[in-house]
Structure 1
Amino acid sequence: MAEIKAEPAQRHTLAIPMADDSAQKPNKTQRVASLDIFRGLTVALMILVDDAGGEWPVIGHAPWHGCNLADFVMPFFLFIVGMAIPLALKRIPGKGKAIQKVGFRTLKLLFWGLLLQGGYSHAPDKLTYGVDMKMIRFCGILQRIAFAYLVVALAEIFLKDAQPKDVSAGHFSVFRLYCWHWLVGACILIMYLALLYGTYVPDWQFTVQNKDSADYGKVFTVACNVRGKLDPPCNAVGYIDREVLGINHMYQRPAWRRSRACTVNSPYEGPFKDAAPSWCHAPFEPEGILSSISAVLSTIIGVHFGHVLVHLKGHSERLRQWIMMGIALLILGIVLHFTAIPLNKQLYTFSYVCVTSGAAALVFSAIYILVDIWDLKLVFLPLKWIGMNAMLVYVMAAEGIFAGFINGWYYQDPHNTLVYWIQKHIFIGVWHSRRVGILLYVIFAEILFWAIIAGILHRSGIYWKL
C-alpha cells in the first residue's frame, strides 16, 4: 500500500513513484530542482487537459492522427520516470535489493492504477463506487508507467555489469557507455513495428455496453480483413487488445468518438452522425498492450538523459547532449510523420515517440537553464511543490478523488455542491463564458490550489511515497 510519511525537510521522496529520491547534483548535497519542476509541470498539464479539454478540444487528445497538448502528457511522464531510474538505482546497494524494490514498486503502481482507472472509482461526478468485474478496465496511465518502469529498471540493473566504469571524452561517450540499453530499445522497436505492420486483422464484432446509449445492447460488425493499416477500426493495436484483454475490459470512451467520421460536433463530443461507421460505438484502449511496448522507448530515452546527468558534470556538456538529441528527435519524428508513420498517441507510433521525446528534452533543457543555471527557482515554486508531491496531486486532482468527496456533500440536489457553486458563480458567472470560466477554474481552483496544499505539506516534510 502507499503510505503518507512525515520526513525531515532535507529528504524528499519522488512523487511519481519511480524511485525513492529525486535527482541530485553531482555533489549529492542538493536536488536538481528542474526535475521536480518538470514533474510538477507534467502533472499540472494533465489536470488542465483532463478538466478543461472538453471545453477546449484544441488542448485535448487528438481524435486519431495528430498531436495536441494532451498528447504530450504521457510521454513526459515516461521521460521523467526514465531520468529518475539511474539516479535512484545507483543509491541501492546490491542487485537483489534493487530488484526487490523495483518489483514491489511496480505492484503498488498496478494496484493504484486498477483502483483509480479500472472503474472502481466513479469520482468526481458519480457518488458511487465499485466495478463489475466483467467490465473492469485492465490498462491505464499508472499501469503503463509500471510496465515501462519495470522493463527499463530491470534492464538498468542487469546490464550494469556489461558496461565500462568510466566515460571517455567525446560527444558520443555516453552512448558508447550504454550501448546495450540502446540495443534493448532497438529490439523493442523492431518487435513493435513487426506486430503493427505484420499482424492480420480479421472482421470483428462488439455489443454496445453503454446503458445511456440509444444503441445499448446492439451488435455491430466491423469489416477489416487487412494487414498493416493504421486507421481506427483495423489496426493491430486494437486487435491485440481485443484478443488478449477482451473487448469489455477496454476503454469505453476513446478519443476517436470526436472524429469527423463519427460526430456532428467534431472535435467536440456530441451525438453520432446518422451515417457514422460502426466502429465509432466501439471501445479502444489507448494504454493497451502493443502501444505500451512502444511506450517503453520514451522511458529509455529518458534514461539516457539521466545517464548524462550522472556522468557529465558541467552544465554546458549536459545541455549540449540534451539539446542536440532533442532537436534530432524532433526532426526525425516530423519527417516520419509527413513521409511514412503518422503521429498517433493511441497507437504510440515511432514518429510520436520521437516528437514527444524531443519536446520533453527541449522543455527539460529550458527548465534546467532557467532554474539550475540562472537560479530562477522562485517563479516555479508552485510547480516544484506539485512535483515533490506529484502522486498526491495526481490522485486527488487529476483523478478527481477530492472533488468527488466534496460533491458528496450537497443540498437537496446532487448538483448543488460547493464544486458546482464555485464553477458557476465565481468563474463562469463572472466571465459570462463557460469555456473561459472552466479554464480559469482549472488553473486557479485546481492547479494553484493543489500547488499551495503541496507547498504546505512540503514545509511539514510530508510526502506520498510509493
Structure 2
Amino acid sequence: MEDPKRLEEGLGHENKDRNEQFSEKDDKTKGGDGINHEKEETNTVVVVEQKGDHKQLQQQPLVKQKTKRVATLDAFRGLTVALMILVDNAGEAYPRIDHSPWNGCTLADFVMPFFLFIVGVAIALAFKRIPKKRDAVKKIIIRTLKLLFWGILLQGGYSHAPGDLSYGVNMKFIRWCGILQRIALVYMFVALIETLIIKQRQSVVEPNHFTVFTAYQWQWIGGFVAFLIYMITTYALYVPDWSFDVYSHHKLERYMVKCGMRGHLGPACNAVGYVDREVWGINHLYQSPVWSRLKACTLSSPGSGPLREDAPSWCRAPFEPEGLLSTISAILSGTIGVHYGHVLIHFKDHSERLKQWVSMGFGLLIIAIILHFTDAIPINKQLYSFSYVCFTAGAAGIVFSGFYLLIDVWGLRTPFLFLEWIGMNAMLVYVMAAQGIFEGFINGWYYKSPDNTLVYWIQEHVFIKVWHSERLGTLLYVIFAQITFWAVVAGILHRLGIYWKL
C-alpha cells in the first residue's frame, strides 16, 4: 500500500545538523512497513557573481542528499519476525520458549507486543508531516482493511499450510481474530489519533523529561481511555455460566463451565473470554488455546499432551488470545511505541534519547514486577493484562535502546544486517515463513507419498539424524533452514529493491 508522504529521521554521524532534518519527498527505499527510512533533500543555493561593481544573484539547485537509514527500526522489526518463526516452529520441541499456558511470560509472549511497539514507533515517524489529512485518513483505513483481509486469510482457517495440502474454511467455524487483525486495529486507532491532532502538535519540544508527554497528551488520553475500558470491563463485567460443544469420535458432547462471578482472572470465567464468546460466537474462537498445557489439564505440562481424566471441562474449551477486549488493552503497547518515536523526533542528542527510552523502559518493568508478584495483576499474555503491557513494553524499550546504541550510535551495523533485511521485508517473511506458506508450496511436490517431501528430507537427514536429536535437530532446522534462509532471500530482494508493503 502506498502510504501518505512521510518521513523518518536520518542518523548519520558526520553532519549532525543536516541529518536531523526531515524531507517530505518519497524515497525509493522503504522498509517492511512501507515507511520511508531515507530522506531526500533538494534545496537551492544563492550564488553570488561579482562583475565590477555589480553583483548577480543566481539560484542553483543543490544535488540531492541522502542520509542513512534508521537501521534500528528495521533490525528491531526483523528481530520480532525472527522470534516469531523460532517460537512457532521450535516451541513444540522446547515448551519453555512457547507461550506461557497462563500467568507468566516466555520468549513467545514478547512477539505480539514487540510488533505493536515498533508499529507505534513507525507511526510517529510516518505521520510527522501530513500534506492532506483526508488522504492520510483514507490510506490508514485502506491499509487497515488490507491487514484485516490478510489476517483472516492466513489465520481464519482457509490456509492449512504447511502440513495439510488442502485448503478452504467452513464459515461456521472461521476464526475472525488473529495477529494481523490485532495489528490492524491497534494501527488504525493510534494512527488516526496521530493524524487527526496534527495541527495541535508542538513542532519543537524543549529538552525536558516531561514535555514530550504534554506535547502529545491526546495520544496518552487515547491510551488511557483504552486502559479504562479494559480494566472496568475486566473487573466489573458479570460472567455467567456457559457451555460449549466438542466433536469426539463422531459424536457431539456438551460441556458446562460454572462461573457466575466478576473480576475472575483464571482461564474459565474471565471477562476477556466472555466478551469474545458474546461478540464473535464460541465457534469462531481459537480452538487450541495454550491453557490446555496447564498442570490442571495435562500431566505433560508445560508441554502438550493428552488431557487428564480429571481435567476441568474448560480445558477442552476454545479461547481467543487475540480477542476484542485484549486488543483494546493492546492499544497501550502501540501508544508506548508512538512515544518512543516522538522522543526520536524531538530529542536530537543520542544520550538524551537513550535517557528518555531507558528510564521509561525500566520504569515499566518495575511497575509490572510489582503488580505481578503482589498478585494484584498477574502478567498474562492471553488476557493482555496491564502488567503484561508494562512488562513487554518495558522490555521492548530496553531492547530498542540497546539496538540504537549498538547500530546507530556505535555503528556496529554489520552483525545485525540479517535482521535489517528481514525487517525491510517483514510482511513477506511473515507470510512465507511464519505462516508456512512457502513450506506448504514445497510440500505440494512429493514423491510417492505426501510425507516424502523435500522439507521432510531436509529436516530428517540434514538436521535430526546428523545431530541424533529430534529436539536439537528441529531447533537447528528453524535457525538455518528458515530464519537464515529467509534472511538471505530478504537480503537479495533488498539488493534488487523489491519490497512487499501493505
TM interval, short-chain normalised = over 0.9
In the other structure, the counterpart of 2:496 is 460
**Following TM superposition, by how much is the alpha carbon of 1:314 offset from its aligned partner in structure 2, in angstroms?**
1.1
Q: Whole-Å Cα distance in 2 between the matches of residues 274 and 23 of structure 1?
A: 60
Q: Does 1:232 align with 2:270?
A: no
In the other structure, the counterpart of 2:329 is 294
**Following TM superposition, by how much is the alpha carbon of 1:232 offset from its aligned partner in structure 2, in angstroms?**
0.2
Q: Does 1:271 align with 2:306?
A: yes
Q: Whole-Å Cα distance in 1 between the matches of residues 39 and 285 of structure 2?
A: 39
Q: 1:439 to 1:348 in 2, by over 3 A?
A: same
Contact 1:202 1:225 in 2 (8 A): yes
**Following TM superposition, by how much is the alpha carbon of 1:110 offset from its aligned partner in structure 2, in angstroms?**
0.4
Q: 1:376 to 1:216 in 2, by over 3 A?
A: farther
Q: 1:279 to 1:22 in 2, by over 3 A?
A: farther
The alignment's TM-score, normalised by the length of structure 1, stands at 0.95
Q: Secondary structure at the match of 2:99?
A: coil
Q: Secondary structure at the match of 1:218?
A: strand
The alignment's TM-score, normalised by the length of structure 2, stands at 0.88
Q: How does 1:318-397 map to 2 (within 5 A)?
A: 318-339=353-374, 340-397=376-433
Q: Whole-Å Cα distance in 2 between the matches of residues 72 and 387 of structure 1?
A: 17
Q: AA paired with 2:31?
A: L
| Range 151-160 or range 28-37, more displaced | 28-37
In the other structure, the counterpart of 1:5 is none
Q: AA paired with 2:291?
A: W
Q: What does the per-residue CA deviation read over 1:264-298, in whole Å, with 9 as the maximum and x for residues that have no partner?
A: 21111111000001001110000000000000000
Contact 1:201 1:236 in 2 (8 A): yes
Q: Whole-Å Cα distance in 1 between the matches of residues 401 and 66 of structure 2?
A: 20
**Following TM superposition, by how much is the alpha carbon of 1:24 offset from its aligned partner in structure 2, in angstroms?**
7.0
Q: AA paired with 2:78?
A: G
**Following TM superposition, by how much is the alpha carbon of 1:90 offset from its aligned partner in structure 2, in angstroms?**
2.3
In the other structure, the counterpart of 1:433 is 469
Q: Secondary structure at the match of 1:262?
A: coil
Q: Does 1:179 align with 2:217?
A: yes
Q: Does 1:14 align with 2:50?
A: no
Q: What does the per-residue CA deviation read over 1:143-168, in whole Å, with 9 as the maximum and x for residues that have no partner?
A: 00000000000111122223333212
Contact 1:141 1:287 in 2 (8 A): yes
Q: What does the per-residue CA deviation read over 1:318-361, in whole Å, with 9 as the maximum and x for residues that have no partner?
A: 10100000000000011011120000001000000000000000
**Following TM superposition, by how much is the alpha carbon of 1:91 offset from its aligned partner in structure 2, in angstroms?**
4.6
Q: Whole-Å Cα distance in 2 between the matches of residues 136 and 461 of structure 1?
A: 36
Q: 1:298 to 1:215 in 2, by over 3 A?
A: farther
**Following TM superposition, by how much is the alpha carbon of 1:28 offset from its aligned partner in structure 2, in angstroms?**
6.7
Q: 1:341 to 1:460 in 2, by over 3 A?
A: same
Q: Secondary structure at the match of 1:207?
A: strand
Q: AA paired with 2:303?
A: Y
Q: Secondary structure at the match of 1:205?
A: strand
Q: Whole-Å Cα distance in 1 between the matches of residues 157 and 29 of structure 2?
A: 32
Q: Secondary structure at the match of 1:171?
A: coil
In the other structure, the counterpart of 2:17 is none
**Following TM superposition, by how much is the alpha carbon of 1:186 offset from its aligned partner in structure 2, in angstroms?**
1.3
In the other structure, the counterpart of 1:56 is 94
Q: Secondary structure at the match of 1:58?
A: helix
Q: Secondary structure at the match of 2:269?
A: coil
Q: 1:454 to 1:91 in 2, by over 3 A?
A: farther
Contact 2:27 2:36 in 1 (8 A): no
Q: AA paired with 1:359?
A: A
In the other structure, the counterpart of 1:133 is 171
Q: CA RMSD in A?
A: 1.9
Q: How does 1:303-314 map to 2 (within 5 A)?
A: 303-314=338-349
Q: Does 1:405 align with 2:441?
A: yes
Q: Secondary structure at the match of 1:251?
A: coil
**Following TM superposition, by how much is the alpha carbon of 1:101 offset from its aligned partner in structure 2, in angstroms?**
1.0
Q: Whole-Å Cα distance in 1 between the matches of residues 218 and 272 of structure 2?
A: 27
**Following TM superposition, by how much is the alpha carbon of 1:183 offset from its aligned partner in structure 2, in angstroms?**
1.4
Q: Secondary structure at the match of 2:96?
A: coil
In the other structure, the counterpart of 1:6 is none
Q: 1:146 to 1:449 in 2, by over 3 A?
A: same
**Following TM superposition, by how much is the alpha carbon of 1:229 offset from its aligned partner in structure 2, in angstroms?**
0.2
Identity of aligned residues (%): 63
Q: AA paired with 1:115?
A: L
Q: Does 1:418 align with 2:433?
A: no
Name which of 260, 265, 268 aligns with 2:295.
Answer: 260
Q: AA paired with 1:38?
A: F
In the other structure, the counterpart of 1:220 is 255
Q: How does 1:244-255 map to 2 (within 5 A)?
A: 244-255=279-290
Contact 2:421 2:491 in 1 (8 A): yes
Q: Secondary structure at the match of 1:128?
A: coil
Contact 1:78 1:299 in 2 (8 A): yes
Q: How does 1:108-127 map to 2 (within 5 A)?
A: 108-127=146-165
Contact 1:208 1:215 in 2 (8 A): no
Q: Whole-Å Cα distance in 1 between the matches of residues 491 and 66 of structure 2?
A: 23
**Following TM superposition, by how much is the alpha carbon of 1:25 offset from its aligned partner in structure 2, in angstroms?**
12
| Range 420-429 or range 159-168, more displaced | 159-168
Gaps of 5+ in 2: 3-25, 42-64
**Following TM superposition, by how much is the alpha carbon of 1:171 offset from its aligned partner in structure 2, in angstroms?**
1.5
Q: Whole-Å Cα distance in 1 between the matches of residues 380 and 194 of structure 2?
A: 28
* Matched positions, count: 456
Q: Whole-Å Cα distance in 2 between the matches of residues 216 and 442 of structure 1?
A: 38
Q: Secondary structure at the match of 2:255?
A: strand
Name which of 72, 85, 99 aligns with 2:110.
Answer: 72
Contact 2:321 2:382 in 1 (8 A): yes
Q: What does the per-residue CA deviation read over 1:232-256, in whole Å, with 9 as the maximum and x for residues that have no partner?
A: 0100000000000000000000100
Q: Whole-Å Cα distance in 1 between the matches of residues 485 and 370 of structure 2?
A: 41
Determine which structure has greater relative contact order: mean sequence separation of CA pairs < 8 Å that are 6+ residues apart, divided by chain length.
1
